[in-house]
Structure 1
Amino acid sequence: MFKVPSTGYSIIPLIYIFGEYDDSYYKYGGRGIGENILYSMVSGMAFFALLLLIESDLLKPVFGFLSSLIPWPPRPKVPKDEDSDVAEERKRITNMSTKDLKTSHEVAIKDLTKYYCIFRAVSGLCLGVKKNECFGLLGVNGAGKTTTFKMITGDVRMSYGKGWVRGYSLWYQMRKV
């Protein structure tokens, strides 16, 4: 009967007649994909280098300096209705020197505070855990227990305060912690 023309056989002659045709698909410029390949390679290498810098903590001092330029909310005030045991631990930790805290405690936290934007998740926590001691955090839902452990393990950065695990700083030596 009748021959049905194939799309491929009908388009190719039209390209030769009306359009530009080039055998090199990888040509840089024009209808080639050379620009796209070059852009993909350069951006891939740049983002991989950035990932290596971030993961190796080489940019941590830069991030620390930039975060110090951001004005944080003031240091949290001690609540008036604080439990006597909590007040005693806070007083013990705040009266110790940094050197004594690092050497005499496996985990030492001083005025640990975390803000998520303007919401204060943890407020001025002071804690000291000596060798061979076990500790836990008690509190109602939303008191900041999980956020505290996230800061100790390095999942979340502290907004204010100092902390050490076996003498290593939670601010500057998180890889060793």
Structure 2
Amino acid sequence: MNILSLKEPAIGLHILLLVFICVASFLILFFVEGKYLKLLYYKFVARKKYPTEEIQTDNDVQMTNEYIRTTDPAQLKEEYAVVIRDLTKYRKKYPAVDGICLGIKPEESFAIAGTSGSGKSTLVRMLIGDTLVSSGKAWVNEFSIITEERKIQHIIGYCPQTDDLLGSLPVIQTLRIFALIRGIPADDCLTVSKKIASIFDLTDHLQKRVKVLSRCNRRKLSTATAIIGNPKVLILDQPTAGMDPISRRHVWDILSYLRDSDKCIFLASDCMEECELLSTRLAMMVNGKIKCIGSIKHLQSKFAQGYYLVIKVKKDAKEKYVSQIENFIKKNFPSAVLRDKFQRMLTYSILDASMAWSKMFALLEKAKKLFSIEDYSLGEHTMEQ
């Protein structure tokens, strides 16, 4: 009997199936790794039309959109390190990211702020090639996110929203692997890894496996892997989420140093304090659209005018005294609006930004003597408020 025959009990059919599976697997791997399937998607599946334009109420957003859309791409790529033109991502029939236009300069720290579900992380994942684009274009350091994503991944440092690390590896091995990927010579990887660990206060955890680290230390490790190798563009998606206040401040100091070193940073965060501290320019994102854009000072002067006033009434004060305080504020601060009243705490927004500080403090000190006020605080409105 011929052992290679296609008839049972010969093994010829099994060998033929094995060869077929090997060839099919190779072809699938070739198409996936070669991005041919993605190119076919962009050619035949992705939507080619731009999203319906919505009337913008903010002039700065309109000017940015018009400039990005009408300027020649070659000029934009010379001027900006990151260029985004009408970038859109649909989730079924609804746009998660809707026609975003942005330009980030090579030495600029730019932040996008917004609540969960506003589209920040989707925008970030499209820039690094992790999510397919429905329509629009974008370039990072002159490389297209559609056709040259591999080149982009060589020049960026990326901290994802989730800790996508190998849990079974020790911290020191994780850092060494990322150092090797970044092109650092093998002889220098250990030294660089220990230095990065020292900067992020991870020295005591070098031999621990990633999966046993706390949430705070995993976030620090994710941020540390992003800055290894001094990438040209740093893309950070909520780098300090889940950190305790001390660790958060420490990471902010590190990122502030990078910002002051003229590193191009693209930050996505739902923490307004983080955005204000780390960025030189800020955009607010709501339901996949940019609603306002500009420097921190510009946005504060435009949207955060006036003052906030918080009054704490004494515990033993009767209800009539609280009413007297409210009448006093209403009479002496005509533009004051009561925003919140909880137990013995009164929170006001004073819309008249022309009132002198000395006059406001004099009136509040007078009220403190006349009524049962335990304490008060007065300050300028912040972007978060």
- Number of aligned residues: 152
Cα deviation for residue 95 of structure 1 reads 2.9
2:106 is the counterpart of 1:136: no
What is the one-letter code of the residue matched to 2:87? L
TM-score of the pair, normalised by structure 2: 0.36
1:83-111 Cα shifts (integer Å, max 9, x gaps)? 33322322232232211111111000011
Determine what percentage of the aligned residue pairs are the same residue: 32
Greater Rg over alpha carbons, structure: 1
For the 8 Å contact 2:85–2:100, the answer to whether it is kept is yes
Q: What is the distance in 1 between the residues matched to 2:57 and 2:101?
A: 13
| Unpaired segments ≥5 residues, structure 1 | 1-21
2:23 is the counterpart of 1:42: no
Q: For structure 1, which segment, 124-133 or 36-45, has the greater mean C-alpha deviation from structure 2 after superposition? A: 36-45
Q: What is the distance in 1 between the residues matched to 2:32 and 2:114?
A: 35
Q: For structure 1, which segment, 93-102 or 55-64, has the greater mean C-alpha deviation from structure 2 after superposition? A: 55-64
Q: What is the distance in 1 between the residues matched to 2:49 and 2:39?
A: 23
Cα deviation for residue 33 of structure 1 reads 4.1
Corresponding residue for 1:88? 63
Q: What is the distance in 2 between the residues matched to 1:164 and 1:123?
A: 17
Cα deviation for residue 173 of structure 1 reads 1.5
Q: What is the distance in 2 between the residues matched to 1:77 and 1:43?
A: 46
Corresponding residue for 2:136? 161
The correspondence for 2:74, drawn from 92, 96, 99, is 99
2:92 is the counterpart of 1:117: yes
Cα deviation for residue 124 of structure 1 reads 0.5
Q: Secondary structure of the equivalent of 1:176?
A: helix
What is the one-letter code of the residue matched to 1:89? T
Q: What is the distance in 2 between the residues matched to 1:29 and 1:169?
A: 53
* Residues 12-23 of structure 1: pairs in structure 2 closer than 5 A: none
Q: What is the distance in 1 between the residues matched to 2:61 and 2:53?
A: 11
Q: What is the distance in 1 between the residues matched to 2:48 and 2:71?
A: 25
Q: Secondary structure of the equivalent of 1:137?
A: strand
Q: For structure 1, which segment, 74-83 or 120-129, has the greater mean C-alpha deviation from structure 2 after superposition? A: 74-83
Flag the 1:86–1:140 CA change in 2: closer, same or farther, 3 A. farther
Corresponding residue for 2:102? 127
Q: What is the distance in 2 between the residues matched to 1:62 and 1:80?
A: 34
For the 8 Å contact 2:49–2:135, the answer to whether it is kept is no
1:18-49 Cα shifts (integer Å, max 9, x gaps)? xxxx8x6x753123443133212321222123
Q: What is the distance in 1 between the residues matched to 2:59 and 2:100?
A: 14
Corresponding residue for 1:8? none
Q: What is the distance in 2 between the residues matched to 1:147 and 1:125?
A: 12
| Unpaired segments ≥5 residues, structure 2 | 153-385
1:133-173 Cα shifts (integer Å, max 9, x gaps)? 01121122211100000000000111111111111111222
RMSD: 2.5
Corresponding residue for 2:32? 54
Q: Secondary structure of the equivalent of 1:31?
A: coil
TM-score of the pair, normalised by structure 1: 0.73
